[in-house]
A and B are shown apart, each in its own frame.
Chain A
C-alpha cells in the first residue's frame, strides 16, 4: 500500500490556527480561502496586496496573511490604482462587497474599470448589506425583504437590482469579466480557476479584471445555511446568471489559432 500523503491542506494565504469572524455558512471565508489558494498556486503569496472595502469584507483583515490596507468606504478602486501604479510588480486585488462596490463606490469602480487599471477586483454579491444589519443594497432582488424594506423591495420605489458585470461589460477597457459562485464544490473550483486566471492576466499586464462571486448571507436573509443555498440557486442565479462575460485572453488565443 502506498504511503499516505496530504492531498489537501489549509492554504498559507490565511493565517494558521485562526477562526474567521464570519457567520456560519457565509461564503466570504470560502472566497478568502480560494484567493489564498490561487495566489499560492501562482507562487505570489509574498507579492500579494489586498485592498479591502468596508463591511463584512473588513473582517478579513484578521484572517488573511498578505499585505493589506482598508480603503474608505467604496474607494478601494482608487486606492488600488495608487498602489498598483506606484508598485507595478505587486499583485493587487480589491475585495469588496455589494454595499461597498455597487452603492457608495460605483463611481470609483466604473472609473477604474474605464481606465483599464491593471488590478483585479473581487466583488462579493450577496444582495444585502451584511455587517450593518441587513439593509437594502443596490443588488437586493425585487420582493426581497430587508430591514429598510420590511415589505420587500418594490421596483417603483427602490428601483431594480444592479448588474455590475453587465454594466462593466459595456466599457471598452476591461480585460476579463466573469461571474462565479461558491455553492457547490464544483463552483468553488471554477471560482478558484477564475481568480487564478485574473491574477495571471494581471501579472502579464493585461489590464482590469473583475470576478463577481454570487454568495449567500444566511444571517441577514433570515434562513438557515442549507435553505440559503436553495434561495441562492433559485432566486439569485435567476437574477444574476453565472458565466464569462468577457475574456480577451481567450478571444485573442482563438483569433491567433484561426489565422493559423
Chain B
C-alpha cells in the first residue's frame, strides 16, 4: 500500500501533481494553508501506486512518498 505525505505549508496550488498523477488520486482541496493557497491532498489514497510522479514534478518538494 503506497501513500503520499504532503507538506501542506509548502504547497502553492500549482496543481502540477494533480495532472501528473496517473491514477488521479490527488486533488486541490477546499482548505487553505497559512499563505492562503488551496493545497493539494490525496482524496483516493487506496488507488495510489507509489509511482512518485507527483513528487518528481512538485516544484516545492512538498511531497514525500511511502511504499
Contacts and interface: CB of A to CB of B under 8 A. Distances in A.
B37 A24 contact: yes
Interface of B: 1, 3, 7, 9-10, 12-16, 19-20, 35, 37, 50, 52-61, 63-67
A30 B3 CA distance: 22
9 contacts: A7-B66, A8-B55, A19-B9, A20-B10, A20-B59, A24-B37, A25-B16, A188-B57, A189-B56
B9 A26 contact: no
Contacts, number: 77
A9 interface: yes
A10 B19 contact: no
Nearest to B17: A185
Given A4-B3, A5-B66, 19 more contacts: A4-B66, A5-B67, A7-B65, A7-B66, A8-B65, A10-B64, A19-B9, A19-B10, A19-B35, A20-B59, A24-B37, A25-B14, A25-B16, A29-B59, A30-B59, A33-B59, A182-B59, A184-B20, A226-B19
A4 B10 CA distance: 24
Contact of A185 (B10, B53, B61, B65): B53
A26 B59 contact: yes
A25 B12 contact: yes
Interface in A181-199: 182, 184-185, 188-189
A225 B15 contact: yes
Contacts of A164: none
A23 B1 CA distance: 33
B19 to A, nearest CB: 7
Interface of A: 1, 4-11, 14, 19-20, 22-30, 33, 182, 184-185, 188-189, 225-226, 229
Residue from B14, B19, B63, B65 whose CB has the most chain A CB atoms within 10 Å: B14
Contacts of B35: 19
Contacts of B67: 4-5, 7
Contacts of A22: 59-60
Contacts of A25: 12, 14, 16, 59
A19 B53 contact: no
A6 B59 contact: no
A227 to B, nearest CB: 11
Residue from B3, B50, B60, B61 whose CB has the most chain A CB atoms within 10 Å: B61
B19 A4 contact: no
A226 B15 CA distance: 8
